């Protein structure tokens, strides 16, 4: 199921902008202190590093991703998600705007 709305959160107005504007996200905080980011990645091939484990939820568009140490690119579309371990690296390839929610933890 694709998340279409998130209620009851605090939103950081200042965007985080990465890779010369190819990735833009806003941090949201829930009443219980849980944090997530909501953003978009524009067409590009990018490499990200994680601190904590992450789950990337596709809201719209699609991407292909490849975890460090693997050769296979895997497609993720609307309503799908994929997990990245903490202290890891992954590549993401986007050919259309990829709208996502990044769940930490």
Share of the chain above pLDDT 70, in %: 100
62-87 tens-digit pLDDT: 999 999 999 999 999 999 999 999 99
**Structural contact between residues 96 and 62, judged by C-beta atoms closer than 8 angstroms:** yes
Percent of the chain with pLDDT over 90: 94
Q: What is the pLDDT of residue 17?
A: 98
Closest among 16, 18, 25 to 100, alpha carbons compared: 25
CB count within 10 Å of CB 10 equals: 10
What is the phi/psi pair of residue 3, to 5°?
-70, 130
Q: What is the pLDDT of residue 105?
A: 76
Residue 50 has pLDDT above 80, yes or no: yes
Structural domains of the chain, ranges and CATH numbers in brackets: 11-104 (2.60.120.10)
pTM of the model: 0.93
């Amino acid at each position: 199921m694709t998340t279409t709305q998130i209620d009851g959160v605090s939103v950081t107005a200042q965007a985080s902008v990465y890779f010369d504007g190819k990735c833009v996200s806003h941090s949201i905080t829930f009443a219980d202190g849980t944090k997530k980011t909501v953003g978009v990645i524009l067409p590009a091939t990018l490499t990200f590093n994680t601190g904590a484990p992450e789950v990337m939820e596709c809201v719209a568009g699609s991407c292909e991703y490849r975890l460090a140490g693997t050769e296979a690119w895997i497609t993720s579309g609307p309503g799908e998600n994929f997990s990245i371990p903490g202290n890891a690296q992954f590549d993401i390839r986007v050919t259309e705007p990829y709208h996502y929610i990044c769940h930490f933890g």
